Structure 1
Amino acid sequence: MSSPCALLTWTLLTLLGLGATREDFTPCGPIVPRREWGALPSRCEQRLDLPVRYVVVSHTAAIPCDTPASCMRQVQNVQHYHARTRGWCDVAYNFLIGEDGLVYEGRGWDTQGAHSGPTWNPKSIGISFMGNYMDRAPPQRALRAAQSLLACGVARGALRTNYEVKGHRDVRDTDSPGDRLYDIIRTWPHYRY
């Protein structure tokens, strides 16, 4: 839900004809768009029926990144692996979270991911933390970025207000999102087994 100040600002800009949209004032933190991290063009065509009820949290199980430059390289590496090596239409995830505290747009809010199999992909947003979180937790700034992204999804109407968070291992036979990250997401208010 928008704050009264944001709503007032949006209303004034709209009345002045300055072209602001309601989405300009959602509680979204910084999301690095595809063009800024150098994404390959997407070949994906399957759209999500929004708002979705589920969010599936995973980890890439690769090396972490903690600066925008290293995270942009890491997102490019993940996309290259998924699109070029695996032959998928794009990076599997809707969003990726870096240890730099930024969210990187993968397939985005509207496009179905390839993160959790045919049962879950059509009804969920896939968020992957870049790194391996079996033995260590992501830093607080990455966890805050994920929480901001979830609030953004609700504000944009991409997630239901009663959305449920699942760990990747809750929906697939995998160790993802790693033991330490899984322990953390199970404390989130929207987590459901």
Structure 2
Amino acid sequence: MSAPCALLAWALLALLGLGLGRPGEDTPSPFCPIVPRREWMAPASKCAKKLKLPVRYVVVSHTAGSPCNCPASCLEQVQNVHNYHTGALNWCDVGYNFLIGEDGLVYEGRGWDTKGDHTGPTWNPISIGISFMGNYMERSPPARALRAAQSLLAWGVAQGKLSPTYEVKGHRDVQRTLSPGNQLYEIIQTWPRYHE
């Protein structure tokens, strides 16, 4: 991460009250650094369908677009995904429940309670969709992004949003797609909650 991006990341975390210790420290966080919708300037959601909680499944995808490695570029990227989903696809909001940035932050999409538009009519009502921002066919997400995703899942269980026996699936396990990309797919297959 470049010095300006690192400084901006720590400034954003301080603003959100999510101080992670000292810059450069590479230890897992006991909490999940979620950037709320208001912080990435999301318009009010027009979605009304709720999920039945706790949710049993998590579907992991990638956006297959540009990666982002600092809060400034991730804010821009999550806005781009939102604009595509609401403009070109005419969805009620960004399709994912959460988006993971290479900056190690989680960006709130529809959140825990609202049904997403990420995996089709069978899986959307029974799963949380988390998407890593970037294309992971040829490369892996950085460790901080993977830790952020795992922290999000632990947070979801602790908050009663995810079932303690939840299962992780790759997007390609439940739909005909290359998502979440070959490299990310190999990684999530090693996660203890992964089930094909």
Question: Same-fold call, TM > 0.5?
Answer: yes
Q: What corresponds to 1:10 in structure 2?
A: none
Q: What corresponds to 2:76 in structure 1?
A: 73
Whole-angstrom CA distance in 2 between matches of 1:157 and 1:172: 27
* Displacement over 6 Å in runs of 4+: none
Whole-angstrom CA distance in 2 between matches of 1:30 and 1:187: 23
Q: What corresponds to 1:55 in structure 2?
A: 58
Q: What corresponds to 2:25 in structure 1?
A: none
Whole-angstrom CA distance in 1 between matches of 2:111 and 2:176: 25
Say whether residues 1:102 and 2:105 are aligned partners.
yes
Amino acid at match of 2:134: G
> Share of identical aligned residues, percent?
72
Whole-angstrom CA distance in 2 between matches of 1:166 and 1:110: 19
Say whether residues 1:168 and 2:171 are aligned partners.
yes
Q: Secondary structure at the match of 1:161?
A: strand
Q: CA offsets per residue over residues 139-171 of structure 1, 9 Å max, x none?
A: 000000000000000001010001000000000
Amino acid at match of 1:153: G
Q: What corresponds to 1:157 in structure 2?
A: 160
Q: Figure out how many residues of one structure are paired with residues of the other and give that number.
A: 167
1:83-98 matches, within 5 Å, as 83-98=86-101
Amino acid at match of 2:79: Q
Q: What corresponds to 2:144 in structure 1?
A: 141
Q: What corresponds to 1:177 in structure 2?
A: 180
Could you state the TM-score of these two structures normalised by the residue count of structure 2? 0.84
Q: CA offsets per residue over residues 37-61 of structure 1, 9 Å max, x none?
A: 0102110000000001000000000
Amino acid at match of 1:42: S
Kindly report the root-mean-square deviation, in angstroms, between the aligned alpha carbons of the 2 structures.
0.6
Whole-angstrom CA distance in 1 between matches of 2:135 and 2:43: 24
Whole-angstrom CA distance in 1 between matches of 2:157 and 2:86: 29
Q: What corresponds to 1:127 in structure 2?
A: 130
Q: Secondary structure at the match of 1:56?
A: strand
1:24-63 matches, within 5 Å, as 28-63=31-66
Q: What corresponds to 1:82 in structure 2?
A: 85
The structure with more radius of gyration: 1
- Segments of structure 2 that go 5 or more residues without pairing to the other structure are 1-29
Whole-angstrom CA distance in 2 between matches of 1:156 and 1:109: 10
Could you state the TM-score of these two structures normalised by the residue count of structure 1? 0.86
1:84 CA drift (Å):
1.2
Whole-angstrom CA distance in 2 between matches of 1:79 and 1:40: 9
Whole-angstrom CA distance in 1 between matches of 2:114 and 2:187: 27
